[in-house]
Structure 1
Amino acid sequence: MDSKHLTHMIERHETVVDTLQVAPEHVCHIAFGIDNTYARGMGITLFSLLENNPGISFHIHLFTTGLNDSNRKKLLTLTARRSIALSFHIYNSSYFDRMPSTGRYAKTIYYRLFMPLLLREMTSRFIYLDADILCVGSIEPLLALAFDDKTICAVNDNKHARNRLCSELNLASGNYFNSGFLYINIPQWLERNTTERLISTLEAKGDSFRFPDQDVLNLVLENEVRLLPKKYNFIYDIIAKKVNYRPDIPEDTVLIHFTGKCKPWHLWASSPLADLYYSYYQRTPWQTQPLDTPVRHKEMKRYAYVLWFQKRYSYSLLWLMKYIKNKFFHAGAAK
């Protein structure tokens, strides 16, 4: 992709914090693609990463079309008194208008596809993380990891997703990785014109994809990915489990990824892993921001179950009534 396209894509780069005290080659680069909706989640991900990796110097890259003053101030508070760099890369939102959209996914899902082009002058590798991930261990082993001539490292999705998506996308390998964690080899990405291949495939087939960014990455990079152990992207869908379900988390887990519609910052997310997430949440600048309350009737029903399990029976019945009213007596209510 030539410089003309890059100039149209990005409005500006802005490094707002740089207190790094090490040489550039000893810095771990982490990238997020967010908007204001996911700024809080990204903040908790970042905090957990810093807390569990005190010996690593980080350069954090936020790719966005803009964050409000409140979230920017919270990020500055979070990074204060640390050896760290924090950079904003402001996209031109109109550039992504041509990308296919589907369901609940915002255009931010495509931000990761252009990151290697914009970070190539700073580093040869970086880790991309979704903003619904919690770090609970050390990422240090990743820093010396060999890519083995692969373009990326990633982690296979769960068995159910692999069975369904491999068939839909005709992936002969039988592998389908989750794109919430990507470790990207920039020189190989550039040499193989990866962004161009991804965009070309999206333009040709994107409207048929179930998960546009993830599907296209798997389709194009099927034979260019080194698969890592699931400890680097332990997938957990809260809403797919019963209230207070206790998952068996391997002791060596490093990154927990809260996939699905229900996120750990939702009141109806009751689960031991959501409680773990909240223990980090309470130590961040976002601690004063309350958890999201239910809006849709399915969320109300789940929250009623949560309250009943917590023996808060009167509140449980109240939310059960809200659920019934919203589902059966509100024409056109959100489903």
Structure 2
Amino acid sequence: MNRPYCLATVTCDNFATGTEILLYSFLKYNAWFNGDIVIFIDKLSSSNQTKLSAHYPVKFIKRTNQVEQAITRLRAHLPQLRSDLHLRLLSIETLRLAQYEKVVFLDSDGMCCKDMHDVFLNTTEFVAARDGFAYEHEANKLLEKSDYPLLQIPNSYGQSNFTNTFNSGFMAINNTYLNKIHYEGVVKLIDDIALWRDFGLKGFTDQMLLNIYFKDKVTLVDGRYNFMPFIEQYIHTLDKVTVLDAKFIHFAGLIKPWFNYNEQEILELAPHYLKYIQLWRDIWKECTLADDPQFAARSITQQYHWTEQHGASKPVSIHKLSV
């Protein structure tokens, strides 16, 4: 008997650590889950496959030759496309999972923070959260009532009158769209050279194809389900959602929490990222080190010494909070 629910993601060796934390955090907050976990891969070492399978029985699936051949044809016309295009298009393989009632796709550069049972129970055919373009269109409605100029927004994915677009890092798809017809419909767009020449060169890949194919068929939910530090102020202001509300934190963009960065550089470039990186690393430590008695002893000792030495100290630079 097929399991009705599936969690799907994509990975490669460079993202394997992120994928491990995605799985660990999802299972931590969704202990009820007994469906399948599918990971679409390009190339993944046996050691990383073993590491990911240690958390749950994982099904590893490779892309079809159909997509491989389409990418080869596309590159022949546009060799300047991003080098990881073959990896970025793995998410469209989700539409092949016709044996499930519901598939929830989460990008492997994210972590779960709360129970997501409501997502699996939702009977809406396709659910996702806004992307940056959609938030900017929404923001302009607010800016029209202020003294600030409107945001200059390019045509979303090269399409005119396209405002309700979504980020493909979180997608909840019912079996209505999980079939060969819709899979091949998206794959055909890989051969649309004009589309890629006009907008694909900007770096958008699977998200561009999925938005175009499923235009006006997606129900948008708020940023709790795809909380992106990259656009946190859009989400805070327009959805009235903070990280405390988030069910899924998605590290879209170039900063990934499993890499080490110079803290001063992050403070100058993207200071708001530090709290999200720390949240992710707390889960990483729990996943990888919590059963190590030496790590536990060190953490407890550090906490004790801080409490005894600094816990009762009041900061000298104290001022009232102001807007």
TM-score bracket, normalised by the shorter chain, equals: 0.5 to 0.7
Asked if structure 2 preserves the Cα contact closer than 8 Å seen for 1:125 and 1:184, the reply is: yes
Contact 1:238/1:258 (CA < 8 Å) preserved in 2?
Answer: no
* Structure 2 counterpart of 1:222: 215
Q: Give the structure 2 partner of residue 201 of structure 1.
A: 189
Per the alignment, in what secondary structure is the counterpart of residue 88 of structure 1? Answer: strand
The match for 2:36 is 59
Is 1:169 paired with 2:192?
A: no
Candidates 13, 20, 33, aligned match of 1:43: 20
Is 1:153 the counterpart of 2:146? The answer is no
Equivalent residue letter for 1:97: T
Partner of 1:91: 63
State the 1:77 CA deviation: 2.7
Structure 2: how far apart are the matches of 1:175 and 1:214?
13
Whichever structure has more helix as a proportion of its residues is: 2
Deviation for aligned residue 1:285: 4.3
Give how far 1:203 is off. Answer: 1.2
Task: Say which SS state the counterpart of residue 108 (structure 1) adopts.
Answer: helix
| Conserved? CA contact 2:41–2:63, under 8 Å | yes
How many percent identity over aligned positions?
A: 22
Partner of 1:109: 88
Indicate if the aligned counterparts of 1:40 and 1:286 stay in contact, CA closer than 8 A: no
| CA deviation vs aligned residue, 1:213-264 (integer Å, no higher than 9, x gap) | 1112111211111112211001112999xxxxxxx72532100111111111
* CA displacement, residues 70-129 of structure 1 (integer Å, 9 cap, x when unaligned): 2122123333xxxxx421113367544335573364412211223322x21x31220111
SS for the counterpart of 1:283 is helix
2:56 aligned with 1:74, yes or no? Answer: no
Task: Call closer, same or farther: CA 1:114–1:185 in 2, change over 3 Å.
Answer: same
> Relative to structure 1, is the Cα distance of residues 202 and 64 closer, same or farther in structure 2, using a 3 angstrom cutoff?
same
The answer to whether 1:186 aligns with 2:175 is yes
How far off its partner does 1:168 sit? 5.2
With normalisation by structure 1, the TM-score equals: 0.65
Higher RCO (CA-CA < 8 Å; seq separation 6+): 2
Superposition RMSD in Å: 3.0
Match of 1:280 in 2: 283
Assess, with a 3 A threshold, how the Cα gap between structure 1 residues 252 and 239 changes in structure 2: closer, same or farther.
closer
Compare 48-57 and 90-99 and name the one that shifted more: 90-99
Q: In structure 2, do the counterparts of structure 1 residues 173 and 220 end up closer, same or farther at CA, with 3 Å as the change threshold?
A: same
Distance 2:81 2:289 in 1: 29
Local SS of the residue matching 2:55: helix
Q: Distance in 2 between matches of 1:161 and 1:281?
A: 36
User: Which residue in the other structure is 1:82 paired with?
Assistant: none
Change (3 A) 1:284 1:165: farther
Offset at residue 177 of structure 1 (A): 0.6
TM-score (norm 2): 0.67
The correspondence of residues 252-271 of structure 1 with structure 2, limited to 5 A, is 252-268=245-261, 271=274
Is the Cα contact below 8 Å between 2:102 and 2:120 reproduced in 1? Answer: no
Q: Specify which structure has the higher proportion of strand.
A: 1
Q: Distance in 1 between matches of 2:33 and 2:157?
A: 40
Q: Give unpaired runs (5+ residues) of structure 2.
A: 139-151, 234-240, 267-272, 291-323
Matched residue of 2:220: which SS? Answer: strand
Structure 2 residue aligned with 1:144: 121
Rounded to whole Å, the distance in 1 between the matches of 2:64 and 2:95 is 17
CA offsets 1:116-170 (integer angstroms, 9 cap, x no match): 22x21x31220111111110011011121021xx4x2111113248873545522
Aligned residues: 247
SS in 2 for 1:175: coil
Q: Residue type matched to 2:216 in 1? A: N
